[in-house]
Structure 1
């Protein structure tokens, strides 16, 4: 499954050597001018130090990761996107290496954090591309603060039907990994994101282990997983009343092996969106931006750069 890159032989070798297509997150960024920094933003009475990765120039494109994630979820896409955009990826509040204030991280709070980060970076309006929880936040932002959103990409936004068994599985697997962040437990949590589990690297697992081992992270993930509580989720659940408010042209990216929802849910969400089209990425799970990078980038380029309106 892993692709290889031919490396020309040196003067002492007669055959080319091969390297994996993906070596490490650093190798993905090695030839890209980029900046990792922190911005401090105000959120519900807290000052939240927020980790940000930026690269490229052009129209603003903001990338939003999923539950328990961090900005490295987009490491394989930064070079391809930075060719056309000023790309910003950041750790949402309570995630990655951003601050972990003790408060429920509901969708309205995560949206407020996104807007505060945009303000701190001087982004008045931009494209949003969100995966899983990030897609939920991106859609909510487009519905309730449409003046801040140009175009919208919802990437495997996750459990549109609010299935209790999906909520339970996500909650239990995430809490298990945070409470016992050893290799095996965290690896199972990361493998949940992939159809081709052989693509899960030690580096990805150890990054998650480092995040999950942060002081205070157990409380933070509990604050994130309130969205997997049906009673709390009810106020933010996907439904046509608020989704129908989204006026931004929308690309709905789904996969044929998404563990959080099938193509029937994609069609349901598509019917609620006023101005959208669906693109299905085959042979991928919950992280097509990693498993099917070329198609993921092509879909973004066609929709955002060539500005194809939904049919």
Structure 2
């Protein structure tokens, strides 16, 4: 008999997990939220053009130790798409507003890519709301123009023409092992990118790839050094948005940080290497130690 694959579907990952999926009003923004588990609060933030399903392979494991909240950021997924630039202060404000709406005073924050940028900004400017911080492949710390252009062009191409081939290329960008990109993941992105108003919304997200806009929020030791929360930098060997040299910048700028590198993974270690991703979070957030 042929063995059942390790990953069947997103629903398969959540099938035996008690969870709640609903929309929450956050300052007038209808925000899609998934919650599971009990314990210390842990809020998960996805990346540019993403949605909470980015964490489908991790919810069950994290829910064993944490009250997990994953959500679609404003202008993303199936949350509302107001016509305003989604700059880092706006995304951070939406995060804090969601925490208020859910009655979360303080939480551990873990953000991937754009989400990492948002949680770092929140920790620097609202230190009283953050316990510990995980920056998961936060991307382009050095603000390289060529990386900005690649992110902008590939994302716009997929949203303007959300056919299977174009969106698949955009999702494959996130993976070192491209064979792990499922039809389900691609079609979820196609559904999001095809939402009415999403082309305008992605333009409002991609303002962060404009150097003139980005300069007010760019990674910089002036504000990064204000992050007082203990921080785990979760990097990979094959992240297309930034190498270990950029992790080194953050280690220099952050007052209390450690680095863990996940081998054989790209921009989405939470999907490609879920066991190691979970172990790193447990070690750092629960035990207060750097992952082995």
Q: Which residue of 1 aligns with 2:246?
A: 265
Cα pair 1:174 1:189 within 8 Å, conserved: yes
Which of 218, 226, 236 is the equivalent residue of 1:237? 218
Deviations 1:204-262 (A, max 9, x none): 00000000000000000000000000000000000101000000000000001000001
Q: How far has the Cα of 1:203 moved from its partner?
A: 0.2
C-alpha separation in 2, matches of 1:265 and 1:137: 17
- Give matches, 1:1-311, under 5 Å: 16-42=1-27, 47-308=28-289
Cα pair 1:37 1:53 within 8 Å, conserved: yes
Cα pair 1:249 1:309 within 8 Å, conserved: no
Query: TM-score under structure 2 normalisation?
Result: 0.99
Q: How far has the Cα of 1:309 moved from its partner?
A: 6.6
C-alpha separation in 2, matches of 1:227 and 1:253: 22
C-alpha separation in 2, matches of 1:309 and 1:258: 21
Q: Which residue of 2 aligns with 1:12?
A: none
SS in 2 for 1:18: coil
Deviations 1:13-67 (A, max 9, x none): xxx431110000000000000000010111xxxx100000000000000000000
Q: How far has the Cα of 1:306 moved from its partner?
A: 1.1
Q: How far has the Cα of 1:139 moved from its partner?
A: 0.2
SS in 2 for 1:73: helix
Q: Which residue of 2 aligns with 1:10?
A: none
Q: How far has the Cα of 1:269 moved from its partner?
A: 1.0
Once superposed, what is the RMSD of the aligned Cα atoms? 1.1
C-alpha separation in 1, matches of 2:281 and 2:248: 20
C-alpha separation in 1, matches of 2:24 and 2:202: 22
C-alpha separation in 1, matches of 2:109 and 2:285: 10
SS in 2 for 1:19: coil
Q: How far has the Cα of 1:307 moved from its partner?
A: 1.8
SS in 2 for 1:69: coil
SS in 1 for 2:80: coil
Which structure: larger Rg? 1
C-alpha separation in 2, matches of 1:222 and 1:199: 28
Moved over 6 A (4+): none
Q: Which residue of 2 aligns with 1:4?
A: none
